Structure 1
Amino acid sequence: MVKPQLSQVHLTKLLLPDMVARGQGHLLYTASISGTMPTPYEAVYGATKAFLISFVEAVKSEIKDSGVTLTLLLPGEVDTNFWHRAGMDTSKLGLGPKAAPTKVVEEGFEAMKAGKDRVVAGKPDSKFIGNVINKLLPDTMTADLHTKGAKPGSGLENKGD
């Protein structure tokens, strides 16, 4: 099975040269706000999203005046089967409120059509975390904050009180 980030890199290599030659086009990449901070209890996931963000920003610089735009979609918590597959069913993040996938897709598509560099999509608190908190706080603090939401069982604390 090909990993999604690898697929996005391969697709970029396949699609981008023709777009640049035409002088127009848009590519939308789905990463995550997890790629903007250390993510304890989902370290590999966060690191792969950080790779994708770095990759897109580097390629964007390479093709800066080509007429092609690359847009990063950075959703927070989305109501998908991700949480179960990631084994996060008992975490605060896994049990907490989530954005509708259709809302996130719409925000990403609109940002891409507008030629925006990136959009943090989903719930208002996800947007605040992705647009403000992760830019202001040091990684040690964002890692500790993420731990509180991602730690297994953290969503079950104080239940039934």
Structure 2
Amino acid sequence: MARPLAVVTGASTGIGFELAKCAAEDGHDLLICADEPEIEKAKADLAAFDVSVKALQADLGTEHGVEALVSAIGGRDVAILLANAGRGLGDGFLDQNFEEAKNVVDTNVTGTISLIHGVGRKMRDRNEGRILITGSIAGFIPGSFQAVYNGSKAFLDSFSWALANELKETDVTVTCLMPGPTDTEFFRRAKMEDTDVGRDDDKDDAGKVARQGYKALMKGEHGVVAGSFMNKVQATFAGIIPDSILAEMHRKMAEPDGR
């Protein structure tokens, strides 16, 4: 019998790659996707597991990219969709290149829900499947100097819980993985290496974050704040502290040097 299939986006490095490892260790064939050629190296690294691994380089911030991934799935049932693809972007919103800011929304929001809409419908039709969406504790905080990114994660956090509720009478589960700052390529790609959070050497380990998320997914939990205990503290107090104070706190860690 064929192994169950796990589709993992944003899987070339970081949390996405570690989620793919979790699924492979659990006996799933893999279809991994990212918008960079490093996805082929990830495929080679994952070949160590006794599963089938297929890699696709595609930009999920575009309709063409999402269509290419759906086409790569073919007629196979997706047992697990690990929707992890995402982009970040630092600096003040009015100082950002608008096309880069728009691409954050296209990837994090539009591409994610487009993929989930197609795959999730088939899961619902057969009344079986698991979806993990990588949100963030950033979604709880007004993100000064990361305004578009935090806003996109606020959308994903909310969307995840809403979809989980809509599917509560089915055997399809939705889990929101909400990490804090994690030791990945994110801060370099987001051009945030000249910020306090970018320079912080005490970021969470991507493997640990992924394992916490995968465990919550397989248990059918609706959400998990992953990483350090302080992430859970921040998530708790974000609902109590006024937004104006949260925005100022975020400014202190995300404002670029020299401003």
TM-score band (shorter)?
Answer: 0.7 to 0.9
Is 1:81 the counterpart of 2:179 in the alignment? no
More helix by proportion, 1 or 2?
A: 1
TM value normalised by structure 2: 0.56
| Aligned residue in 1 for 2:52 | none
RMSD (CA atoms): 1.6
Write out aligned runs for 1:58-137 (5 A): 58-96=162-200, 97-130=202-235, 132-137=236-241
Give per-residue Cα distances to partners, 1:5-43, cap 9 Å, x unaligned.
322211211111222222222100001111111000000
3-state SS in 2 of match to 1:38:
coil
| Structure 2: 5+ residue stretches without partners | 1-58, 62-106
Greater relative CO (CA pairs within 8 A, separation 6+): 1
Greater Rg, structure 1 or structure 2?
Answer: 2
| Structure 1: 5+ residue stretches without partners | 155-161
| Aligned residue in 1 for 2:254 | 150
1:153 Cα deviation from its structure 2 partner: 2.5
TM value normalised by structure 1: 0.87
Task: Provide the C-alpha distance between the structure 2 equivalents of 1:44 and 1:4, rounded to a whole number of angstroms.
Answer: 10
Q: Residue 57 of structure 1 aligns to which amino acid in structure 2?
A: W
Q: Quick check: 2:108–2:153 contact (8 Å CA) kept in 1?
A: no
Task: Provide the C-alpha distance between the structure 2 equivalents of 1:141 and 1:4, rounded to a whole number of angstroms.
Answer: 26
Q: Quick check: 2:164–2:175 contact (8 Å CA) kept in 1?
A: no
Q: Quick check: 2:108–2:152 contact (8 Å CA) kept in 1?
A: no
Task: Provide the C-alpha distance between the structure 1 equivalents of 2:141 and 2:212, rounded to a whole number of angstroms.
Answer: 22
Q: How many residues align?
A: 153
Task: Provide the C-alpha distance between the structure 2 equivalents of 1:99 and 1:62, rounded to a whole number of angstroms.
Answer: 32
| Aligned residue in 2 for 1:25 | 129
Q: Quick check: 2:133–2:177 contact (8 Å CA) kept in 1?
A: yes
Task: Provide the C-alpha distance between the structure 1 equivalents of 2:242 and 2:187, rounded to a whole number of angstroms.
Answer: 26
